[in-house]
Amino acid sequence: MYVRKESMNVVCHRIRALRTLQRHREEDRMVVYVDETWFTTRMSHNMEWVDSSQPNTSATYSRQVPPGDGERFVVVAAGTADDFVQGSFLCFAANNTTGDYHGEMNGELFLRWLTTQLLAILEQPAVSVMDNAPYHSILTEESRCPTTATRKSHLIEWLEHRQISFPQHATRPELLNICRQYRPEPQYKVDDIIREWGHEIDRLPPAHPELNAIEQVWGHMKRHVRSSLQRFTRADLQARMEEARHSVTDEVWAGAVRRSRAFEDEYRSTDNVHESVDPVIITLDSDSDDEVDLILSSDED
């Protein structure tokens, strides 16, 4: 029997994310699911029967997958319950074929896509649902805390800038320990930019792709590409990816969002998440002349 073990931090993060998402829905904000994925020219099932006597145009031909990892393409996009956000779909060739797409993304590229291909297009207040990939989570300068690589003089500057007292002859390890005691709450550049444009952000807890509906859309597209690749070339992959993108209908998006919200409901149930608790009035019977009413309004989760 599989039992999911989670830290308390992850559970609390999930509860906050669910409450945040529900609040923004009540404010009538559009929910926009943001994510990245990858495709390669070698995408196929690992093993296939091959009839090499047939031409590759034959209906009975089975694909012969060339060796190696092939070329890799990274895709970034955003979508709603209806469709991809128009103009948000970005696809580019990766510089290497090893590792995953995270190595090809960086904060500068993501911020450029965010401001020019997503936020500039959204016409109504929205909440962006995304994970905590490194390029989503670049800290602002004010929320950065010194590290073990920080010089002693910079530790002193950091403390003095925040008017934090420290012993006059404190050593570098002592200064670093004081800095960590006053570590600021993390503030992310992405969050600030999204709010500057009049929108909000909801960061999902680690390892919760089921709460991001676009993940299921990626799965739909990858199944199409895997089943249709024949020549395993860049041109073939690009053509199949374009087909896959157009195969994502409004029904596909609606189904993906429906399944994602089913997971939300399941987590709300298991985590005992309630948006509000009505006061409970309990009258205590007593032999005394006065009747005592207790009003309980605590949240049990």
* Residue-wise pLDDT tens digits, 142-194: 999 999 999 999 999 999 999 999 999 999 999 999 999 999 999 999 999 99
**Residues lower than pLDDT 70 in the chain:** 1-4, 45-65, 96-104, 275-301
Determine which helix (DSSP H) or strand (DSSP E) holds 222, and give its type and residue range.
helix 214-228
pTM: 0.80
pLDDT confidence of residue 249: 95
CATH number given to 8-141+187-296 = 3.30.420.10
pLDDT confidence of residue 273: 83
pLDDT confidence of residue 46: 53
Contact status, residue 204 vs residue 129, Cβ threshold 8 Å = yes
Q: Which residue ranges make up each domain of the chain?
A: 8-141+187-296, 146-183
pLDDT confidence of residue 300: 45
Determine which helix (DSSP H) or strand (DSSP E) holds 35, and give its type and residue range.
strand 30-40
pLDDT confidence of residue 54: 61
Instruction: Give the C-alpha separation, 135 to 120, whole Å.
Output: 20
Contact status, residue 274 vs residue 260, Cβ threshold 8 Å = no
pLDDT confidence of residue 186: 92
